[in-house]
Structure 1
Amino acid sequence: MSDDSGLWLLAAGPAGATALYWALYRYYRNTDKSHAFERETAVEAKPVTGSDRKVDTVTGTQDKRIRGDNVREYRARVRRDSG
């Protein structure tokens, strides 16, 4: 009597699971069809434009609050949407 007749059935489980995993991985990842941004996209760098203009200076302040804040006026901060 030979015990090799059922051995292929035991090997079919892990082999089938591996094949199914690989097929689903290839189907959802599409690694062979995906866009390779680093290789296929040309990025042209341009010089930075703008200006460095000083707006305001605050030094040595001792204020505990910011002028004009609306922390305690929650009805002014949160308005009901009319639309």
Structure 2
Amino acid sequence: MSDDGGLWLLALGPAGATGLYWALYRYYRNTDKSHAFERETKVDAKPVTGSDAKVDEVIGTRETRIRGDNVKSYRARVQRIRGNTS
């Protein structure tokens, strides 16, 4: 009996691992199906509009909180979305 019969079994491990890796890579990356945003999407840029009106000035760190923040009033910040219940 020859030892060549078991050699294919040893080669099957790395070949199977390589095949599995490549299949998972192709499945999760889908590079052949991906959308090339930079080439296929047209974005019309428009000039920036706005104003630079100065509203207030805070110098240094004298104020540790932002005036009018609602950090502690959870119910006022987070509201339930009221949708159709049909």
TM bucket normalised to smaller: 0.5 to 0.7
- In the alignment, the residues of structure 2 paired with residue 10 and residue 58 of structure 1 have an alpha-carbon distance, to the nearest angstrom, of 71
- In the alignment, the residues of structure 1 paired with residue 31 and residue 64 of structure 2 have an alpha-carbon distance, to the nearest angstrom, of 55
- Structure 1 runs not aligned, ≥5 long: none
- Structure 2 runs not aligned, ≥5 long: 81-86
- In the alignment, the residues of structure 2 paired with residue 65 and residue 32 of structure 1 have an alpha-carbon distance, to the nearest angstrom, of 52
Superposed displacement of residue 29, structure 1: 1.6
Q: Hey, what does 1:29 align to over in structure 2?
A: 29
- Given the superposition, is the C-alpha separation of residues 69 and 49 from structure 1 closer, same or farther in structure 2, using an over 3 Å criterion? closer
Q: Hey, what does 1:43 align to over in structure 2?
A: 43
Q: Hey, what does 2:8 align to over in structure 1?
A: 8
Superposed displacement of residue 5, structure 1: 1.8
Larger CA Rg, structure 1 vs 2: 1
What amino acid is aligned across from residue 73 of structure 2 in structure 1? Answer: V
Matched-pair identity in %: 69
TM-score of the aligned structures, taking structure 1 as reference length:
0.64
Please provide the CA RMSD for this pair: 3.3
Q: How many residues align?
A: 75
1:6-62 per-residue CA deviation (whole Å, 9 max, x = no partner) reads: 111100011011111111221122110011111211121110001111223466x9x
What amino acid is aligned across from residue 35 of structure 1 in structure 2? Answer: H
